[in-house]
C-alpha cells in the first residue's frame, strides 16, 4: 500500500549526531533522537509524517518515556529541543514533495515557548501549508485560548488523542482545529467490538461535522487498513506501516543539504 514520493538523496557526510540532540539534565546526559511516523490516505499513499522522539539515558543506554521526560525538563532545555525540532521540520518540508504535511506535538509550556519567539512564528507561518501542531485532548483550551488562536492562524492545529480524555466538555473550541486524531487505544477498543469497523466509521462521520480532517491512529494490521480504505477518514497512522518508520539514522537522507 505504501507509495513514497519523497527525496531520497542527501549529503552522505551528514552525521547522525547532527540530528540527535544531547541534553544534560539532573546530572545525566540524554540523547533525543527524532523519528518520523507516516500518515497515509485510505488508499495507502504517503501524505505526511508525525515527528516523534526517542529518548535514551546515555550512561545506562536506557530508553525513557518521551512525554514524561519533556515534562521534567527546565525551560532552557525544552526550548533547545523545540527549536531544533522546528528547524528539522523546516528542512524536511523544503526537501519533500509539496503535498507532504509534518506534525509535531506541543504541551502548554511548549506552546508558550513557541508563541514567545517571533522568529519561530515567522518560520512556521512561511510553511503553514505543510506544518501542523498537535495539541492533546486533555489540554485546557479555555486557559490557553489566546495562544491556541495564534498557532491556529500561523500554521494550523490538530487535536490529538481524541477518545482518551473528556473532550466533550471542551467541544466549543473545535473551531480552532484543522483536524482531529483518533487515539490508537480508542481505535483498538472499538474495532474489536462486534461491527467495530462500522462503529468507527460512524465516529469518523460525526467528527467530520466538527473538524475538516479526521486522522485514525492505531491501524495495526492489514485487515484494519483494508476495512478503513473505504472509510471517511482522511489519513491513517499505525504499526501496520512500522517497517516504514523513519528513524534518526535515516532522516538525513530525506534532507537536501544546501552546500
Give the residues across from 43 on adjacent strands: none
| pLDDT digits (tens), the chain, 259 positions | 333 233 222 332 232 346 899 999 999 999 999 999 999 999 889 999 999 999 999 999 999 999 999 999 999 999 999 999 999 999 999 988 888 999 999 999 999 999 999 999 999 999 999 999 999 988 888 899 999 999 999 999 999 999 886 665 567 788 999 999 999 999 988 888 988 889 999 999 999 999 999 999 988 888 888 888 888 899 999 888 776 678 876 787 777 543 2
The CATH number linked to 97 is 3.20.20.450
* 3 lies in some domain: no
Supply the pTM of this predicted model.
0.87
> Are the C-beta atoms of residues 137 and 159 closer than 8 Å to each other?
yes
Residue 10 lies inside a defined structural domain of this protein: no
Q: What's the CA gap between 3 and 58, in Å, rounded?
A: 36
Quote the domain boundaries for residue 123: 16-254
- Chain-centroid distance of CA 174 in Å reads 18
- Whether 20 maps to a domain, the answer reads yes
Decide if 259 is inside a domain: no
Distance, CA of 223 to CA of 204 (rounded, Å)? 18
* Residue 2 forms part of a structural domain: no
Say if residues 77 and 241 touch (Cβ distance below 8 Å): no
5 domain residue, yes or no: no
* 129 within domain boundaries: yes
Cell digits for 179? 483536524
Residue 158 lies in a domain: yes
Instruction: Tally the domains of the chain.
Output: 1
Angle between helices 145-154 and 118-126 (to 10 degrees): 40
Amino acid at each position: 500500500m505504501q507509495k513514497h514520493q519523497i527525496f531520497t538523496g542527501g549529503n552522505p557526510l551528514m552525521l547522525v549526531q547532527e540530528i540527535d540532540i544531547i541534553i544534560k539534565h539532573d546530572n545525566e546526559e540524554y540523547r533525543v533522537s527524532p523519528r518520523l511516523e507516516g500518515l497515509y490516505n485510505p488508499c495507502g499513499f504517503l501524505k505526511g509524517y508525525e515527528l516523534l522522539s526517542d529518548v535514551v539515558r546515555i550512561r545506562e543506554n536506557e530508553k525513557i518515556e518521551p512525554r514524561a521526560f519533556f515534562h521534567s525538563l527546565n525551560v532552557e532545555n525544552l526550548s533547545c529541543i523545540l527549536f531544533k525540532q522546528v528547524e528539522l521540520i523546516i528542512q524536511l518540508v523544503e526537501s519533500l514533495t509539496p503535498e507532504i504535511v509534518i506534525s509535531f506535538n506541543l504541551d502548554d509550556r511548549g506552546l508558550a515557548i513557541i508563541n514567545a519567539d517571533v522568529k519561530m512564528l515567522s518560520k512556521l507561518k512561511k510553511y503553514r501549508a505543510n506544518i501542523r501542531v498537535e495539541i492533546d485532548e486533555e489540554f485546557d483550551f479555555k486557559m490557553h485560548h489566546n495562544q491556541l488562536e495564534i498557532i491556529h492562524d500561523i500554521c494550523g492545529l490538530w487535536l490529538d488523542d481524541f477518545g482518551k480524555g473528556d473532550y466533550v466538555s471542551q467541544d466549543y473550541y473545535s473551531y480552532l482545529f484543522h483536524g482531529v486524531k483518533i487515539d490508537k487505544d480508542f481505535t483498538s477498543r472499538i474495532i474489536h467490538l462486534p461491527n467495530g469497523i462500522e462503529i468507527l466509521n460512524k465516529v469518523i462521520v460525526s467528527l467530520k461535522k466538527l473538524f475538516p480532517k479526521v486522522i485514525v491512529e492505531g491501524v495495526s494490521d492489514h485487515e484494519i487498513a483494508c476495512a478503513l480504505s473505504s472509510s471517511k477518514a482522511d489519513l491513517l497512522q499505525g504499526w501496520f506501516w512500522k517497517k516504514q518508520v523513519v528513524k534518526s539514522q535515516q532522516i538525513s537522507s530525506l534532507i537536501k543539504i544546501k552546500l
